[in-house]
Structure 1
Amino acid sequence: MAAEALARLAEERVDHRFKGLPPDAAGRTVGELAAERRNLFTGGFATPVLALSAERLEHNLRLMETYAERHGLAFAPHGKTSMAPQLFRRQIEHGAWGITLAVPHQVWVAREFGVRRVFLANELVDAAALRRLAAELAADPGFRFVCYVDSVRGVELMDAALDGAARPVDVVVELAAGDGARTGVRTEAGCAAVADAVAASRSLRLVGVAGYEGEVPQATGERVRAWLRRLTALAAAFDEAGRFDDVEEIVVSAGGSAWFDTVAEVFAELPALSRPVLKLLRSGAYVSHDDGHYRRLTPFNRVPEEGALEPAFRLWAQVVSRPSPDQGFLNAGKRDAAHDLDLPVAQVVRRDGVERPAAGVEVTGLSDQHTWLRTDPEADLEVGDWVGLGLSHPCTSFDKWQLIPVAEADGTVVDYVRTYF
């Protein structure tokens, strides 16, 4: 079923829904277009066009696979970064335990494409979604689902919606990363109260604890480490109290894309518990990495001997206006480029098949469909030039493009990644 669903992606017709693709490709299937192996720069692609580097994507997949293995971690990368079933498949092929998601729609996408293990990093209290979840669990004994709980009220709502479900829903108590952080229970006493509510429910089963260290206020290594030790201590306390006596393994989970080295360090300190422990890392932005926020914060900057992720995205846009020597405009804007954390970075200029560094070219702003450039006197930039932009924050790059070319270093497009946001 999963293979069939993925195969159907290649049968989808290219049409007006997909930005940047060659106009003369309309009517072809995605598979037919991929088989043509067109060149991104000479094959008729229209700007703006976002591309993924085939080589860098593969490098990042392999690097995080070996990192998780080396540190004894299971890996459930956050799929909301890409919402791309083809990338889910490749992540699982590279050793991922499953996929982390955030909302029910994302779960249904993952299930449609055969994902067997889902970690939902949210409390799920929507009755309609819970009923569908119960049906999915009943229909597929091999489907494993785990989600957060962070309130007694949430547990009560879940239990009511799941009344009569054939299988219990596995849950982990979410420990908040501190006062003023995002979701989660603020105190250990509050976590115990939520765990008591789960124990009293008919339809839920407590399997562990979890949280997100990226929300630690004014995060530093010391503060993140201290919060993670609270999380592992909570797991140990719950285990000592017999809260996991009915489970086969205990789930302890954390790990965004900025502090996974600290997660690995603290999880390695966890003492033996009464059951095997699934130490589940959830970093997701690694798959494409970026040229801004995560490039600055990646743990590999702190531990370079572990390797280095490589930015795999590049947005190509064209100079459409050069109204003055110190100003230029590209035909890409907020609809095309991530801009919630950092502006794009002008990296290269391409003219007549020749690529050179974008010396003296700086992105200063984005309009809906324009990139604002400031150009120094030495900048060699003309109307018609292609400019390659590095992007920050993969989560808001993937969501702007439904079909993304995957290109080799020479520009040969070898595949297309379909996204579902």
Structure 2
Amino acid sequence: MQTVALAVDKGDIELGPNVLSGVSLPAAVVHEGPLMHNVEWMQRFADAHGARLVPHGKTTMAPALFHRQLQAGAWGITLATAPQCRAAFAHGVTRLLMANQLVGKANMAIIASLLEQDATFYCVVDSHENVRQLGHFFAERGLTLSVLIEVGVEGGRCGCRNQQQILSLAEAIADEPALSLVGLEGYEGVVHGDNPESGVRVYAQYLVDVAVELEAAGRFSQTNPIVTASGSAWYDVIAEAFRGAPLQGRFTPMLRPGCYVVHDHGLYREAQTAVMARRPDLQQGLEPALEVFAQVQSLPEPGLAIIALGKRDIGHDQLPIALRRYREADELLKPGLAQPLSVAGWEVTKMMDQHTFVRLPEETQDVEVGDIVAFGASHPCLTFDKWRQLLLVDDQLNVKERLVTCF
């Protein structure tokens, strides 16, 4: 039986020629081939639809991945908070779209500092009070803040709930000399209902209609104002709406998917299946690149394996999926030649902070304590934020690079 040496530590990692050897599991691993496929695939998609790609960096908060996305053609990086923007800027990202309200003087001070260092920065607003606060703060600093009005939906998250609120807010922004209204922002992922696709299409068209109306009224302070939306589930629907005649040549469409970069084995795999069904002209699609490796810790009773993996190590809005299994390596063997062992019929039934319960099929007889299992997760945001660094590996599980995170 071939075996594999696989060990990773959340602390310092020695990069060497062997397969992830020398430190402890569990470990979060990003596969280089699927990663680069996804980066290039989504950039081609955005380019083909006449949109700028501004990937949501909160998914990974990994500057090395930001730079791969930028090198592939991304216009900038989207973030969710002022400290995230500061971290991205500190690692060389100069175009920052904060798809969130900038609230609180401490956060405003962070952004003012970035502007003073020549960052290109945008944030969103959805209330008169926030507009007043921002206008006062940035006027005192002698700076101009570029803002986008957030367009929300009833029962959703943030954002203006109707056209009257949007128009009123645009007037309030015009009364603040330190603010510049440069576009509209929305997020279709909060649109639900019995027919979400129909709801997302209606919402996307609403964004377009409001943008055209505000432009006709002369409310934007720049030519080719921004219109931006799109997570990693409905990007195709948003891109189609933004590619329509009302925006072409007059606006700057921006798409902001984030989870696509490593994809997943759950929520976004299901969403991608739907995208490919809606768009059979698209080729290949996205591939899961993120896995977490952990070891069998105990076999306390027949049909039960306890894995040294828990909620502290991997996202759990859906239970992880066992993908492959390896036998921990003998030092004399070449681990890169290892062949995976079967995990057919393995079912994750429960997770605790540091333990995962796996129900094994009755016929499974070859599981040993110490066996290494690769797990796939749903929603990569909730796995990345558990790690200060992940390992980029090649097809043979050789470590190529440490991906440091800035959470």
Provide TM-score, normalisation by structure 2.
0.91
CA 1:68 to 1:323, structure 2 compared with 1: closer, same or farther past 3 Å? same
Q: 1:201 aligns with which of 170, 176, 193?
A: 176
Please give the secondary structure, in 2, of the residue aligned with 1:162: helix
Match of 2:214 in 1: 238
**What is the CA deviation profile of residues 240-266 of structure 1, one whole-angstrom value per residue up to 9, with x for unaligned ones?**
11112x313200000001100000111
Please give the secondary structure, in 1, of the residue aligned with 2:201: helix
**Cα distance between partner residues in 2 of 1:361 and 1:183:** 41
Matches within 5 A, 1:149-228: 149-176=125-152, 178-218=153-193, 220-228=196-204
Please give the secondary structure, in 2, of the residue aligned with 1:349: strand
Q: 1:407 aligns with which of 376, 383, 393?
A: 393
Equivalent pairs, count = 387
CA 1:134 to 1:22, structure 2 compared with 1: closer, same or farther past 3 Å? closer
**Cα distance between partner residues in 2 of 1:145 and 1:22:** 33
TM-superposed deviation, 1:371: 0.7
Are positions 1:363 and 2:333 aligned together?
no
Letter in 2 for 1:310: E
Letter in 2 for 1:168: T
**What is the CA deviation profile of residues 277-330 of structure 1, one whole-angstrom value per residue up to 9, with x for unaligned ones?**
110000000111000011101223532431311100111111111112211100
Matches within 5 A, 1:55-66: 55-66=33-44
Match of 2:367 in 1: 381
Is contact 2:83-2:110 (8 Å) kept? no
Is contact 1:174-1:209 (8 Å) kept? yes
Q: 1:347 aligns with which of 318, 323, 347?
A: 323
CA 1:354 to 1:335, structure 2 compared with 1: closer, same or farther past 3 Å? same
**Cα distance between partner residues in 2 of 1:272 and 1:82:** 31
Matches within 5 A, 1:97-176: 97-140=75-118, 143-176=119-152
TM-superposed deviation, 1:268: 1.2
**Cα distance between partner residues in 1 of 2:113 and 2:386:** 32
Is contact 1:124-1:147 (8 Å) kept? yes
**Cα distance between partner residues in 2 of 1:110 and 1:278:** 23
**Cα distance between partner residues in 2 of 1:205 and 1:369:** 49
Match of 2:4 in 1: none
Q: 2:18 aligns with which of 18, 22, 38?
A: 38
Letter in 1 for 2:318: D
Match of 1:292 in 2: 266
**Cα distance between partner residues in 2 of 1:368 and 1:417:** 24
Please give the secondary structure, in 2, of the residue aligned with 1:67: helix
Match of 1:312 in 2: 289
Q: 2:382 aligns with which of 396, 404, 407?
A: 396
* Structure 2 residues without counterparts, runs of 5 or longer: 1-6, 330-337
Provide TM-score, normalisation by structure 1.
0.88
Is contact 1:165-1:203 (8 Å) kept? no
**Cα distance between partner residues in 2 of 1:53 and 1:100:** 23
**What is the CA deviation profile of residues 341-399 of structure 1, one whole-angstrom value per residue up to 9, with x for unaligned ones?**
21100111112543133112111111110110011112242212111111111101110
Match of 2:405 in 1: 419
Match of 2:223 in 1: 248
Letter in 1 for 2:45: Y
Letter in 2 for 1:289: H
